[in-house]
Amino acid sequence: MNKEDAEGIVAQLQQAHRISVAFYRRILPLLDMVAKQLECTFYYWEPEYTNRPGRGSSRPSQSSSWDYVPLYSSIHTYKHVADETKTGLEDFGLEFYLNIEDSFGKTMDKSKRQPDAIRQPDAIALPAGQGVLRIHLNRLKNAENASFVELWEETAEASVVVGEPWKSVSNHWECRAFEWPLASVICDTGPMVAEIQKHILMART
């Protein structure tokens, strides 16, 4: 690699970071807006397959490089709770799975392990994927004399297929999955909100 090539890479890197920041500045408030339309409040977020960037005392080179782009594939969870001390059938959990490229998730699902500094997907060799926003709508099977948080912590990780009927994911929860192209969501959230609202109403009847 000569200096001209290196300068070209640095210029691309600068542009990529600026575009990423601009995108997150748009998509994260958009998730909040959609959740608010569905009468949900923020609960928590986490990377789907990787770890958050390490502590200040951790050596970055000992972690997966993918840890430093934690929103590349991430889960943003919101909840609708009428009473914080107990749960009712009107309560539900809403998970937004933000996937900048679904090929990353498919690679991680196949490997069945978290990436680390040694074993991690090659950013250049990774197949091109689609940008998608997947939503998991979680409803309660029964009203319980326990808080939403208590019951949510018992939710097991389960494979929920888009388009299939409600699937049991724990003793307390059932889940249904939906998916939209990320570009479509950025342009217009209306169809997505309408679809989720319809299933929320159906889940309560």
27-77 confidence digits (pLDDT tens): 999 999 999 999 999 999 999 988 888 767 778 878 888 888 889 899 999
Residue 194's nearest CA partner among 30, 26, 27, 34 is: 34
Q: Is 164 helix (H, G, I), strand (E, B) or coil?
A: coil
Q: Is residue 11 part of a domain?
A: no
Q: Is the pTM of this model over 0.85?
A: yes
How far from chain centre, in Å, is Cα 187? 19
Q: Is residue 16 part of a domain?
A: no
Confidence of residue 199 (pLDDT cuts 50, 70, 90): very high
Whole-angstrom distance, CA of residue 76 vs CA of residue 158: 17
Write down the mean pLDDT value for the chain: 88
How many domains does the chain contain in total?
1
Residue 69: how many other CB atoms lie within 10 Å: 17
Whole-angstrom distance, CA of residue 136 vs CA of residue 161: 10
Confidence of residue 111 (pLDDT cuts 50, 70, 90): low
Q: Is residue 181 part of a domain?
A: yes
Q: Is residue 110 part of a domain?
A: yes
Strand-by-strand arrangement of the 73-80 sheet: 41-47, 73-80, 92-99, 132-140, 173-181, 167-168
Q: Is residue 186 part of a domain?
A: yes
| Segments forming the whole domain that contains residue 136 | 31-52+64-115+125-203
| Residue 72 parent element (H or E) | none
Per cent of the chain over pLDDT 90 is: 60
Q: Is residue 150 part of a domain?
A: yes
Q: Is residue 83 part of a domain?
A: yes
Q: Is the pLDDT of residue 24 over 90?
A: yes
Q: Is 138 helix (H, G, I), strand (E, B) or coil?
A: strand
For position 153, what pLDDT does the model report?
A: 87
Q: Is residue 69 part of a domain?
A: yes
For position 126, what pLDDT does the model report?
A: 83
